[in-house]
Amino acid sequence: MNSANRFAALDADEILSTSSANQAVKKAEKKLREITALKKKDEDDLTQEELDKIAMESYWQNIAYPPQQEKNIDESQKAKQKARHLEKLKKQESARAKIEEEKRRKEELRKITREREEKREQERKEREEQEQEQRQRKKEERERKERQEKEKEKEREQGNNKKRKFENMMEESVEYSQVFSEFEEQYTKNHDINKVFKKLSMKYHPDRNYGNESWATMMQQYLADVKEWFENM
């Protein structure tokens, strides 16, 4: 039986099946040509993918050139057997494709899972950084308030010390009371601390108090203290 009518003994369904099988045979022959070309290369130069292709040689060999049947089997039987063989190979190919698809699906699932875990880890790190920044800001704010409170306490203490000093000087020194009274009198008139200070500084300047330079210097110091008191009152 020639190649034109090699499937003449098959029914319509078997002919359709054989048509698909012929496509599988052509695919197998193409794969074998590729494998033959790869086998000519140096084995050390082959990639893993190329080695995997060569390992499939027997698989494609069985599709393209199935084992020869005994000569006493007629052409019709041989055609049926080949069709069944090709159908079996087709199922094997389908099963292999399903396995590959399942592998791709699992790999995609692992990729998605890995990306989600990386995202959660990144979000966790960002939350930790934000919490750390918040703790640092609270710490700095607490330390700033503590410094302010200490400065205020120091200022209050200094103010109290000055007040006590002023009260003591007012009680113990007639000259101090004199300077204070004069400063207060002048300030009541013009409400300008600097002008009052300048006027009284000239009055108690050592150069204008010849023979009483020490006393004038002391009065100058009292005047400076009184000026500060008026500035802070």
Other residues' Cβ atoms within 10 Å of the Cβ of residue 231: 10
Report pLDDT for 123.
Answer: 92
Report pLDDT for 10.
Answer: 39
Cα-Cα-Cα-Cα dihedral of 208, 212, 214, 217, to 10°?
-30
Q: Where are the domains of the chain?
A: 18-65, 94-169, 173-232
The answer to whether 200 touches 183, Cβ cutoff 8 Å, is yes
Report pLDDT for 171.
Answer: 61
Cα angle at 115 between 110 and 116, to 5 degrees? 100
Q: Rounded mean pLDDT of 172-193?
A: 84
- Report the chain's mean pLDDT, rounded to a whole number: 80
Cα-Cα-Cα-Cα dihedral of 46, 52, 58, 64, to 10°?
-90
Structure tokens, 72: 């006493």
Report pLDDT for 126.
Answer: 92
Res 175 pLDDT > 70: yes
For residue 179, name the pLDDT band (cuts at 50, 70, 90). Answer: confident
Q: Rounded mean pLDDT of 28-50?
A: 84
For residue 8, name the pLDDT band (cuts at 50, 70, 90). Answer: very low
Report pLDDT for 180.
Answer: 87
The answer to whether 229 touches 161, Cβ cutoff 8 Å, is no
For residue 41, name the pLDDT band (cuts at 50, 70, 90). Answer: confident
Res 70 pLDDT > 80: no
For residue 151, name the pLDDT band (cuts at 50, 70, 90). Answer: confident
Res 121 pLDDT > 70: yes
Report pLDDT for 24.
Answer: 83
For residue 15, name the pLDDT band (cuts at 50, 70, 90). Answer: very low
